[in-house]
Amino acid sequence: MTSSGTQKPGVLFIISAPSGAGKSTLCRAVLNRFADLIYSVSYTTRSLRGGEKNGVDYHFIPKDEFEKGITQGRWAEWAEVHDHYYGTCADFLDGELNAGRDILLDIDIQGAGQILQRYPDSVTIFIMPPSLETLKARLQSRGTDSPEVIAVRLKNAQNEIAQKDIYRHIIINDRLTDAVAELIAIFERYRS
């Protein structure tokens, strides 16, 4: 509560990174550190994959429901990727922020740009790999992608890194422990 008795709004934290830069690991570390931090689960029209849980990994909804949400202005941001829609619910963000709760949004650069139009005070954080060579080695070590997919991911990473200046904070994930400490320090600064 503020001195006037009104609820202080929550802080919206946006984290983006190229594939393989360690964003998921860093997001998990922040969520483990701040038990009251809300993680925004995106909506998608794609099918559930093995091991995924509805409402945990994504909210899985039919394409016509998503499209209706587009016309109704339901999404704070949305995109169509490989014939599937992905989006963030504006009512969810507004409700949590207005209740004074801080939110973590793990989103791509395109989505971050859309979110900033609606929530210009968001705290934006871009996770960088130490180099494209390191990123390539990380992607190869995963063993989940073909050389062609890795090449596309590296090309996308170059494009994303070129847009990093729209972010307020940039963390180079060279040593994980240092990157986690730097990220937690950013969260502590804005949450105090």
Instruction: Report yes or no on 6 lying in a domain.
Output: no
Count of alpha carbons within 13 Å of 173, Cβ hemisphere only? 25
Instruction: Report yes or no on 7 lying in a domain.
Output: no
**Residue ranges making up the domain that contains 145:** 12-191
Please give the model's pTM, rounded to 2 decimal places: 0.89
Instruction: Report yes or no on 4 lying in a domain.
Output: no
Instruction: Report yes or no on 5 lying in a domain.
Output: no
pLDDT in tens, 17-61: 998 898 989 999 999 999 999 999 999 999 988 889 999 989 999
**Is pLDDT of 175 > 70?**
yes
Instruction: Report yes or no on 2 lying in a domain.
Output: no
For residue 163, the 8-state DSSP code is T
Quote the pLDDT of residue 3. Answer: 53
Per the structure, the count of domains in the chain is: 1
Instruction: Report yes or no on 142 lying in a domain.
Output: yes
**Integer Cα distance of 98 and 94 in angstroms:** 6
**H/E segment holding residue 28:** helix 23-33
Mean pLDDT computed over every residue of the chain: 92
Please report where in the chains the tokens 């202005």 appear, as a residue. 73
Nearest to 126 by CA among 154, 103, 157, 96: 157
Helix (H, G, I), strand (E, B) or coil at 11: coil
Q: Which residue has the higher pLDDT, 81 or 9?
A: 9
Quote the pLDDT of residue 4. Answer: 57
CATH, residue 121: 3.40.50.300
Instruction: Report yes or no on 151 lying in a domain.
Output: yes
Quote the pLDDT of residue 49. Answer: 85
